[in-house]
Amino acid sequence: MTKDKKQRAVVWLLFIVLALLGVPPVIARSAQGSHEAAAAVPGPLLAPTPPMGWNSWDSYGATIREAEFKANALWMAEHLKDYGWQYVVIDVGWYLKIPGHWSTPPWKATLDSYGRYIPAPNRFPSSAHGAGFKPLADWVHSLGLKFGLHMMRGISREAVAKNLPIAGSPYHAADAADTSDTCSWNSENYGVRDNAAGQAYYDSVAKLYASWGLDFLKVDCISSRPYQAGEIHMISRALRQTGRPIVLSLSPGPTSLAVATDVRQYAQMWRISNDFWDNWIAKGDERWAQTLYGQFATAIGWARYVEPGHWMDADMLPIGYIGPRPGMGTARETRFTHDEQRTLITLWSIIRSPLILGANLPHNDEWTISLLTNREVLAVDQHSIDNRPLITSNDLVMWSARPQHGPGTYLAIFNRSDSPLPIHLRWNEAGLVVGRAYKIRDLWEHKDLGAATTLRLTLRAHACALYRIED
């Protein structure tokens, strides 16, 4: 029995004992915030497959308004929902009266009387008169989609300055705030102390969001530089205690492999790299951003930690039209070539990353739509197992997986070089039997290529192939 299985067996045994004793199924924590036994007992599995959806950041930065959000959600419902796309997420700054001022003053944020951020009514008119995001979430749900929000970890500076009460508790904002801790790239909040007041604050936020009908929460400045274990544990616990199934996504990356066991215990998805944008290699003042070339190496270390309900997040998909007010750069069609876009979708699928679109959806062209509605490719992301790297050279990269249901092997082959790459693959290099004739299906082209005892192909620069191999 593996260490993880032994730990789970112990947790289940504890759950049974607590149930027999009539104790609520949450492991106690001290007022000082000890997390040695902080994990909740198993509950309903959230995100059993990698989440698929859309996030406003790539195309709108911190400036999106209600009408723009609705246009994207409606397009997803009409064109992508039937293919498994379901989450629509408003990213950073939805509480700011002045759109765009998300990292530096003046913030001019809207707060309730308990120091919690609420949507700016000048940008989200359906939130007026204390309605919060409930009307908008209800509308999203009426489309058959799920509603998500972004939040910065921590508690508002304004709430602390006014020492506002924390809802449902005897504490005030100053009791929860760690004024020595702010996010290095957005100082609008103080960190939250790992104490009873801190837990009460996050409980109050989670309860508010759940009352709106939240399905997905992306928490920022928390999973790296440094990894904020205490706040992650408190937020995770607060979400569970609402009784509403809310997927927890942690940003930004790169999350350290050293915390892999912890992060997959408390979150459904976590970022594995810096922000990912539409660059094959690093360029100019965007050299800090993760590149498609670099994401191959980053994904390798995380392969063994992926499991249902817990996914490495390679970040959003910057394809299609990115605008009118992008989170980085100027409005543009994606800078990825067609081959690079297929490589992007194929890599995210074979590593089973969540698929979160960054495009302005109503502007999607036929090519982009074809990338997002290929059921055979999406099945690799959603319903494959045993995903692992086989070859990881500078030029040739190859991953394999197995369909969760049915026979065969998925084989993703990538050319990372800047020149065409001829490939002659013997089946034992893919974990199959040498000399046997296997049937080959091209998933991108929806073509059966016949049976062969070896695989021969030539990939263009930055191109890929995705096959299903069967006896």
Report how far residue 329's alpha carbon sits from residue 237's, in angstroms, rounded to the nearest whole number. Answer: 37
Lowest mean pLDDT among 96-110, 346-360, 378-392, 406-420: 96-110
Q: Where are the domains of the chain?
A: 1-27+39-43, 46-383, 390-470
- Assign 99 a pLDDT band (cuts: 50, 70, 90): confident
Specify the pLDDT at position 23: 38
Angle 134-142/196-212 helices, nearest 10 degrees?
50
Residue in the block written with tokens 């099945």? 379
Q: Could you say which architecture CATH assigns to the domain 46-383?
A: Alpha-Beta Barrel (3.20)
135: region left, alpha or beta (phi > 0 left; psi from -120 to 50 alpha)? alpha
Report pTM.
0.90
Q: Give residue-wise pLDDT tens across range 271-318.
A: 999 999 999 999 888 999 999 999 999 999 999 999 999 999 999 999
Across the range 360-387, mean pLDDT stands at 98
Q: What is the crossing angle of helices 196-212 and 229-241, to 10°?
A: 50
Any idea what the Cα angle at residue 168 is, between residues 163 and 171, rounded to 5°?
35
Q: Say what angle helices 338-350 and 292-300 make with each other, to 10 degrees.
A: 10
Look up the CATH number of domain 390-470: 2.60.40.1180
The percent of residues in the chain predicted with pLDDT above 70, rounded, is 91
pLDDT digits (tens, 9 = 90+) for 448-471: 999 999 999 999 999 999 999 999
